[in-house]
């Protein structure tokens, strides 16, 4: 039996041509130079998925401010996506502005979004992809648990700051229990740097130094 593979952190996002509610899109080409989040949901017209799409849309402006696009996916036909999109707008008064991929299973198989024990439904997967089309983070949720969208927003912010400042983020950043909203300096790579760290930054020790973002 052929082993099923999944996309891993650090991989290049595969080149895919997808059918969406906004027409045919070529990934990752359509978002060249931008961050984008591709997320799958088990099915249209289901309550947890509906709450998730509303949650993403409510934060869409914040993602756009981070130069980050959103694109959803499930193994449903495009007319089902359109009908669900219209239902959300008519009944919940919220317009879903980002595209939704109508997958026949091939995209989900390529990305590793189908759990062997869950039939043909996609899991609640999230891929965060950077402007170089590299997968930077992966989240998987079970069907019975809706995602935390503030956490996804936090991850994009943290990854962008990490890239720009060459720093790491502590647990629960920006509300870490030890250093608050400060960021962590990369570990020293030699004795000289280790000695200079404690003089240059606030440190618990030479291997745990931190600073305030400018």
Q: Work out the number of other CB atoms within 10 angstroms of the CB of residue 72.
A: 22
Residue 213: exposure state from Cβ atoms within 10 A (0-12, 13-18, ≥19): exposed
Q: Give the list of residues 6+ apart from residue 25 with CB closer than 8 angstroms, or none.
A: 17, 18, 71, 99, 101
- Please confirm, yes or no, whether 203 is among the known catalytic residues: no
- Catalytic residue, from 38, 49, 127, 169: name it: 49
The residues assigned a catalytic role are 49
């Amino acid at each position: 039996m052929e082993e099923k593979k999944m996309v891993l952190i650090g991989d290049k996002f595969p080149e895919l041509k997808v059918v969406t509610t906004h027409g045919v899109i070529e990934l990752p080409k359509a978002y060249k130079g931008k961050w984008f989040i591709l997320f799958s949901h088990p099915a249209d017209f289901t309550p947890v998925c509906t709450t998730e799409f509303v949650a993403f849309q409510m934060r869409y402006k914040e993602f756009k401010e981070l130069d980050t696009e959103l694109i959803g996916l499930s193994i449903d036909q495009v007319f089902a996506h359109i009908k669900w999109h219209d239902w959300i707008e008519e009944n919940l008064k919220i317009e879903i502005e980002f595209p939704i991929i109508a997958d026949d299973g091939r995209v989900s198989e390529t990305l590793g979004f189908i759990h062997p024990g869950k039939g043909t439904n996609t899991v609640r997967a999230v891929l965060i992809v950077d402007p170089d089309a590299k997968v930077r983070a992966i989240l998987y949720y079970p069907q019975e648990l809706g995602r935390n969208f503030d956490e996804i927003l936090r991850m994009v912010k943290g990854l962008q700051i990490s890239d720009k400042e060459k720093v790491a983020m502590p647990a629960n950043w920006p509300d870490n229990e030890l250093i608050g909203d400060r960021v962590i300096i990369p570990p020293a790579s030699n004795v000289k740097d280790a000695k200079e760290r404690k003089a240059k930054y606030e440190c618990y020790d030479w291997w745990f130094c931190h600073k305030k973002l400018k």
